[in-house]
Structures are given as C-alpha cells and as structure tokens.
Amino acid sequence: GDSVTQMEGPVTLSEEAFLTINCTYTATGYPSLFWYVQYPGEGLQLLLKATKADDKGSNKGFEATYRKETTSFHLEKGSVQVSDSAVYFCALRTLTGGGNKLTFGTGTQLKVEL
Amino acid sequence: DTAVSQTPKYLVTQMGNDKSIKCEQNLGHDTMYWYKQDSKKFLKIMFSYNNKELIINETVPNRFSPKSPDKAHLNLHINSLELGDSAVYFCASSHLGAANEKLFFGSGTQLSVL
C-alpha cells in the first residue's frame, strides 16, 4: 500500500538557519505530493504541493521538488523564523476506486529558537 | 467565517460512555473525512463520505459510526469509549475530484478517556 516516511523529529534550529526535512514515499500509480503544516492547537493547513515529476511546490519561502527517480519530496527553507515552529507532515494522494485519500507521514516537529 | 468547524474542541469522558463529535463545512465541498491523530502526532484516515455516501472505511472498530445527514455535515459517534480512543480527531473536507485537491481541516477535537 501507499506509505510516506519522514525524518524523525524534533528538529531544533536557530533563527535564519537552513532547513531540510526529508520525505520519501511508496505508491502505486502517480501520486500527488503535499506538505501540510500544523501550528500548535490548530488543524493542518496545506503548505505546498506538486502533482507530477519535477514539479516544484513553493510557499512562504518553503520549497519541495517532486523527484520520481528517488521517490522523494524533501522540504527546504533557506532561512527559518521562530514563527515557522510547527509540525510538518508530508503526504501523498492517489485516486482509488472508491475515492481519493491522503496518506500522511508521521510528522516532523520543528522548533526554531532565537 | 470558519470553513470547517467541529465541536466540541475538548471532550473528557469516562470509559464505557458514548459520545459524539460534530463537523460542518461551509465550503460547498462534496467530500468529508475523519482523521485520528495519536499522541505521537501520527495521522490516520478513518472514514470518508462523498455526497452522504461512505467511500472510505479504514480498519476502525465498529464502535465508531460516522453519520452524514447532508454533504455539509459529517458527525462521528463513538460507543463504549476505551482508553485507547484518547486522541485528537480532525474533520476535513475537499472536492472529490482530482488527486491534487487539497483538504481543509478543522481545528480538532481532543478526546480524553479516563
């Protein structure tokens, strides 16, 4: 079945540091890939997405490129801020016979300190 | 206006009780979901309804029964609550459409079973 593997957290960085959160996936067919972010006490929000190989999703300074050859969708940001502290979820979505569902990774907590 | 709203936000109850969580979306979406997030932040889909019809039903105990009176509402009823049911439950909605459709999440219901 479909699955997503993310690096374990928590990841603790100083403000303005470079961020990478690794994500790899296993899927049948051609999934769409997503990064969702969950701020404390809130539901998940879509951060960015990519729908086909070599697509780059970007939003709020975050980027991720859909790499079919390595089945990866790593999240990067050049300079993190304290306000980026949250849990980040990599996810994939494929169309199934009965509908489509989002399969999440286990989440990676990011803590950014001054 | 809140797009996906779920109530209550917190629910504390005793083992063996029956409880319900309500969810409503005002986005005009045709598909709604329930996800369970455990203490380690792992998110797993439980159910999905499209136009009031159940389309995804993961391996969930029969004590959990979703009900969709119309496509804007998806409620979750839980019978005979157990300690292991303690988690945060998220409602979400989307258009069924293509696999790149994003999900909109509610802010979660934290269920604590004592």
Residues of A with CB under 8 A from a CB of B: 31-32, 34, 38, 41-46, 49, 51, 87, 89, 93-96, 98-104, 106-107, 109
pLDDT score for A66: 97
Q: What angle do CA A41, A46, A52 make, to 5 degrees?
A: 155
User: B93 with B29: CB under 8 angstroms?
Assistant: yes
A10: preceding bond cis by omega (within 30 degrees): yes
Question: How far away is chain A from the Cα of B53, in angstroms, using its nearest Cα?
Answer: 11
User: A60 with A36: CB under 8 angstroms?
Assistant: no
* A99 pLDDT more than 60: no
| B53 against A110, higher pLDDT | A110
Residue of A nearest to B9 (CA): A41
Nearest-angstrom CA–CA distance, A112 and A90: 19
pLDDT score for B67: 93
Residue B102 has which token pair?
């994003």
Residue A59 has which token pair?
């939003």
- Mutating which of B27, B29, B71, B100 best tests the A interface, going by the most A Cβ atoms within 10 A? B100
Nearest-angstrom CA–CA distance, B38 and B16: 20
| A8 against A46, higher pLDDT | A46
- Band (B1; pLDDT cuts 50, 70, 90): low
Cβ <8 Å between A106 and B48: no
pLDDT score for A72: 97
Q: Over pLDDT 90: what percentage of chain B?
A: 64
- Mutating which of B7, B60, B94, B102 best tests the A interface, going by the most A Cβ atoms within 10 A? B102
Provide the 8-state DSSP code for B48. E
User: B94 with B27: CB under 8 angstroms?
Assistant: no
* B97 pLDDT more than 90: no
A contacts of B109 (beta carbons < 8 Å): none
What mean pLDDT do residues B44-72 have? 88
Looking at the complex, does the CB of residue B110 fall below 8 Å from at least one CB of chain A?
A: no
Residue of B nearest to A86 (CA): B41
Q: Helix, strand or coil for residue A84?
A: helix
User: B103 with B93: CB under 8 angstroms?
Assistant: yes
Average pLDDT over chain A, rounded to an integer? 91
pLDDT in tens, B6-52: 999 999 999 999 999 999 999 999 899 999 999 888 888 898 888 88
What mean pLDDT do residues B57-85 have? 92
Cβ <8 Å between A44 and B90: yes
pLDDT score for B50: 86
Q: Over pLDDT 70: what percentage of chain B?
A: 95
Cβ <8 Å between B42 and A95: no
Residue of B nearest to A5 (CA): B42
Looking at the complex, does the CB of residue B53 fall below 8 Å from at least one CB of chain A?
A: no
Residue of B nearest to A97 (CA): B55
- Helix (H) or strand (E) holding B107, with range, is none
